């Protein structure tokens, strides 16, 4: 499968999965669950996720990136994956009662049991999914992700409507992992490493050990806000914070996840051929910032009318937190694939040092910020993002050899595009309707105008992604013309 076709399938997977999950979250939050109930689930999910990060054990990166992956290595990797993952799942189940004691809320116990049970099915999907990505078979990846998202949405909405509260979210998570395991196994020929094989496991364990430590740092940085805000400010505060964080992160994953999953094996091929990654990395930066920055800036500026329209008045407290977290995500997007590229180039040690330092700083800042509520915690997250950027930009420069002039030029053009995208909405706020009073219908025209002005600006300043936009427009128009002729014929 070509890179462009792979990106198309991966993008479709991310878009449809996001749409299903987003629609489900709106229905559940607007009609059935309160911020406190969502906050309760967020604490349980964050706690289990901190432990469950050990499950994947770096196997996805190992399988996709390993230069010579034979049957024996694959069998060993799958065996190690199952042994580690099921052991971790049992730890999660055992931690359910202590966590409920720690937070003084017995409702956490059944939540963690159900969420923990979902992780028993995770290892059955890790290796099959990685093999499909290694083979650039993103059509199968589409089926896996979309099938899992549909299952989660159906189960969650059905149980929430029947009055199950936060447990509806937990049962939805369990159903999602079961569906992901079944579909991924089907698409890869029902793999299972029996009898289990551990000969040569030391190589897998060394790779997995370092990669897992990295994932632990990343998980602490990602999940600690829910645990810290929940422990200090309460369930309602963490419910609002987690909803804002989910919106910002889901938007970034939607727009970048497809590129990440395709570019990782593509960059691995460039590495194997001994080619420089400097120019490809700048192209990646231009693509990320040129497209994602305007979207995140728009999310930050439109947060009040958007949250009110989607979730209703009881969720209005999400809006100011969302604006701050969207700005933080813009900083993270500025250095794409900051972890994957060093790993490809054999510099996992450098990533571990920097991620460990950044994680410690994040926890300290969040502990300080959460004392003053969700908005202060979000402001602390922006400070953490800026610190993270300073840690990584020089590191990536040394590894890829990109030019400073090229990087700053990409940032400058993308920032101009982002400002153009939000200018019509800011003008409406200034001269027509303030954000706290704007309806969803009033929001749409300036947003549409912003998209048009963004595109015109990109062409005017000759942004590096313009050729890709032209190609996409030409290909789409060509397909529409062919369908029209077929229909008329």
151 CB contacts (<8 Å, ≥6 apart)?
175, 176, 178, 179
Minimum mean pLDDT range among 170-174, 254-258, 382-386, 432-436: 254-258
Asked if pLDDT for residue 66 goes beyond 60, the answer is: no
- pTM for the whole structure: 0.75
Q: How many CA atoms are closer than 13 Å to the CA of 155, on its beta-carbon side?
A: 20
Residue 136, phi-psi category: left (phi > 0), alpha (psi -120 to 50), beta (remainder):
left
pLDDT in the model for residue 306: 92
| 3-class SS of residue 438 | coil
- The DSSP call for residue 313 is G
**What is the Cα–Cα distance from 337 to 325, expressed in whole angstroms?**
19
pLDDT in the model for residue 128: 76
pLDDT in the model for residue 434: 92
Asked if pLDDT for residue 298 goes beyond 90, the answer is: yes
ω into residue 195 within 30 of 0, thus cis?
yes
125 CB contacts (<8 Å, ≥6 apart)?
144, 177, 180, 181, 184, 185
Q: Across all residues in the chain, what is the average pLDDT?
A: 81
Q: What does the pLDDT average to over 69-74? A: 65
**What is the Cα–Cα distance from 65 to 83, expressed in whole angstroms?**
22
Asked if pLDDT for residue 210 goes beyond 60, the answer is: no
pLDDT in the model for residue 332: 94
Q: Between vectors from CA 306 to CA 302 and to CA 311, what angle results, nearest 5°?
A: 155
Q: What is the pLDDT of residues 388-409, one digit of tens each?
A: 999 999 999 998 888 999 999 9
**What is the Cα–Cα distance from 19 to 7, expressed in whole angstroms?**
18
* pLDDT: which is higher, 381 or 83: 381
Selection from 31, 278, 35, 17 nearest residue 143 by Cα: 17
Relative orientation angle of helices 138-161 and 166-187, to the nearest 10 degrees: 150
Q: What is the pLDDT of residues 138-160, one digit of tens each?
A: 677 788 888 889 999 999 999 99
Selection from 74, 370, 401 nearest residue 238 by Cα: 370
pLDDT in the model for residue 78: 75
pLDDT in the model for residue 205: 60
pLDDT in the model for residue 25: 85
Selection from 182, 163, 190, 153 nearest residue 24 by Cα: 153
Q: What does the pLDDT average to over 87-104? A: 83
pLDDT in the model for residue 30: 84
pLDDT in the model for residue 329: 94
User: Which pair of structure tokens corresponds to residue 390?
Assistant: 């300073």
Q: What is the pLDDT of residues 461-485, one digit of tens each?
A: 999 888 877 766 676 666 666 666 6
Asked if pLDDT for residue 315 goes beyond 60, the answer is: yes
Find the radius of gyration of the CA atoms of the chain.
Answer: 23
Residue 165, phi-psi category: left (phi > 0), alpha (psi -120 to 50), beta (remainder):
left
pLDDT in the model for residue 406: 93
Burial of residue 380 (CB within 10 Å: 0-12, 13-18, 19+) is: buried
pLDDT in the model for residue 267: 61
Which residue stretches of 374-439 are H helix?
A: 374-400, 404-431
Asked if pLDDT for residue 377 goes beyond 60, the answer is: yes
Q: What does the pLDDT average to over 329-355? A: 85
Selection from 277, 365, 301, 295 nearest residue 333 by Cα: 295
Q: Which residues of 29-57 are buried (b: 16+ CB within 10 A; e: fewer)?
A: beebbbbbbbbbbbbbbbbbbbbbbbbbb
Asked if pLDDT for residue 251 goes beyond 80, the answer is: yes
Asked if pLDDT for residue 227 goes beyond 60, the answer is: yes
pLDDT in the model for residue 399: 87
| 3-class SS of residue 433 | coil
176 CB contacts (<8 Å, ≥6 apart)?
118, 148, 149, 151, 152, 155
290 CB contacts (<8 Å, ≥6 apart)?
410, 413, 414, 417, 458, 463, 464, 465
Cβ atoms of residues 195 and 182 within 8 Å: no
Q: How far is CA 284 from the centre of its chain?
A: 17
Cβ atoms of residues 201 and 338 within 8 Å: no
Asked if pLDDT for residue 56 goes beyond 60, the answer is: no
317 phi and psi angles, rounded to 5 deg: -60, -15
pLDDT in the model for residue 189: 75
Q: What does the pLDDT average to over 249-265? A: 66
Minimum mean pLDDT range among 16-30, 203-217, 348-362, 448-462: 203-217
Q: What does the pLDDT average to over 91-95? A: 83
369 CB contacts (<8 Å, ≥6 apart)?
376, 377, 378, 379, 380, 381
Asked if pLDDT for residue 225 goes beyond 60, the answer is: yes
Q: What does the pLDDT average to over 188-201? A: 69
Asked if pLDDT for residue 50 goes beyond 70, the answer is: no
- pLDDT band, residue 107 (cuts 50/70/90): confident
Percentage of the chain modeled with pLDDT above 90: 28
Q: What does the pLDDT average to over 90-94? A: 83
Asked if pLDDT for residue 190 goes beyond 90, the answer is: no
The total of other beta-carbon atoms located within 10 Å of residue 104's CB is: 7
Q: What is the pLDDT of residues 8-40, one digit of tens each?
A: 666 677 778 878 888 898 898 888 888 888 888
Residue-range domain boundaries for the chain = 1-199, 253-489
């Amino acid at each position: 499968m070509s890179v462009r076709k792979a990106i198309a399938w991966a993008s479709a997977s991310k878009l449809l999965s996001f749409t299903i999950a987003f629609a489900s979250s709106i229905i559940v939050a607007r009609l059935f669950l309160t911020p406190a109930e969502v906050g309760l689930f967020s604490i349980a999910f964050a706690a289990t996720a901190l432990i469950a990060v050990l499950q994947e054990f770096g196997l996805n990166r190992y399988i996709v990136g390993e230069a010579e992956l034979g049957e024996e290595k694959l069998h060993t990797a799958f065996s190690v994956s199952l042994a580690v993952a099921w052991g971790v799942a049992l730890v999660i189940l055992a931690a359910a009662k202590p966590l409920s004691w720690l937070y003084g809320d017995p409702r956490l116990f059944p939540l963690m049991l159900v969420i923990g049970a979902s992780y028993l099915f995770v290892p059955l999907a890790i290796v099959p999914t990685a093999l499909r990505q290694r083979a650039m078979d993103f059509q199968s990846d589409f089926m896996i992700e979309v099938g899992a998202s549909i299952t989660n949405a159906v189960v969650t909405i059905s149980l929430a409507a029947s009055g199950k509260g936060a447990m509806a979210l937990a049962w939805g998570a369990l159903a999602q992992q079961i569906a992901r395991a079944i579909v991924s196994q089907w698409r890869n020929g029902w793999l299972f490493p029996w009898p289990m094989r551990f000969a040569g496991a030391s190589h897998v364990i060394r790779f997995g050990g370092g990669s897992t430590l990295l994932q632990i740092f990343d998980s602490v940085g990602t999940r600690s806000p829910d645990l810290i805000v929940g422990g200090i400010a309460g369930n309602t505060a963490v419910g609002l914070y987690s909803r804002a964080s989910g919106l910002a992160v889901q938007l970034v994953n939607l727009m970048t996840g497809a590129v990440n999953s395709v570019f990782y094996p593509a960059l691995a091929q460039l590495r194997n051929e001994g080619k420089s990654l400097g120019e490809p990395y700048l192209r990646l930066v231009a693509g990320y910032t040129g497209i994602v920055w305007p979207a995140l800036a728009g999310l930050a500026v439109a947060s009040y009318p958007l949250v009110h329209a989607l979730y209703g008045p009881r969720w209005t407290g999400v809006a100011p937190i969302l604006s701050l977290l969207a700005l933080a995500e813009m900083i993270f997007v500025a250095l794409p694939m900051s972890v994957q590229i060093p790993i490809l180039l054999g510099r996992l040690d450098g990533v571990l040092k920097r991620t460990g330092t950044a994680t410690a700083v994040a926890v300290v800042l969040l502990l300080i910020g959460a004392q003053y509520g969700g908005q202060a915690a979000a402001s602390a997250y922006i400070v953490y993002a800026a610190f993270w950027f300073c840690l990584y930009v020089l590191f990536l420069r040394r590894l890829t050899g990109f030019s400073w002039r090229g990087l700053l030029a990409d940032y400058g053009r993308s920032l101009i595009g982002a400002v153009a995208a939000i200018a019509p909405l800011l003008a409406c706020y200034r001269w027509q309707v303030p954000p706290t009073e704007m309806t969803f219908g009033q929001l749409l025209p300036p947003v549409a105008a912003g998209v048009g002005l963004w595109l015109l600006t990109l062409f005017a300043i000759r942004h590096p992604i313009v050729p890709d936009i032209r190609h996409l427009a030409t290909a789409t128009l060509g397909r529409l013309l062919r369908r029209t002729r077929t229909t008329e014929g």
